């Protein structure tokens, strides 16, 4: 489940300005260094509204990511995680069954 305004941001850029600035090829055209890191979202996850997931991150199976979170590192399976940066709050267990 993916809520409204969720962003999956795979593009990565160099940290150093001289590497990040546009460069000119011999033919006169310009380019810059940009690459992508994969995002892996395992089965049965719920990403609430306005979550941002950064490149290189894996969200484990069965996770719930709270609204407005910015996920910058891996989240283990069956975790409730939220915040900026997103952090695990607790595990999701059998006690979470709706009665």
Q: Which residues are designated catalytic?
A: 13
The DSSP result for 40-95, as a single string, is: EE-TT-EE-TT-EEETT-EE-TT-EE-TT-EE-S-B-SSEEEETTTTEEEEE--GG
The alpha carbons of the chain give a radius of gyration, in whole angstroms, of 18
Which residues make beta-bridge pairs with 52? Answer: 7, 70
């Amino acid at each position: 489940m993916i809520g409204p305004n969720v962003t999956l941001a795979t593009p990565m850029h160099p940290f150093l300005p001289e590497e990040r600035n546009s460069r000119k090829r011999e033919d006169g055209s310009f380019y810059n260094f940009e690459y992508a890191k994969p995002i892996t979202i395992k089965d049965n996850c719920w990403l609430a509204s306005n979550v941002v997931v950064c490149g290189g991150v894996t969200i484990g199976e069965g996770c719930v990511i709270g609204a407005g979170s910015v996920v910058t590192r891996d989240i283990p399976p069956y975790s409730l995680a939220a915040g900026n940066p997103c952090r695990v709050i607790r595990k999701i267990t059998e006690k979470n069954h709706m009665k």
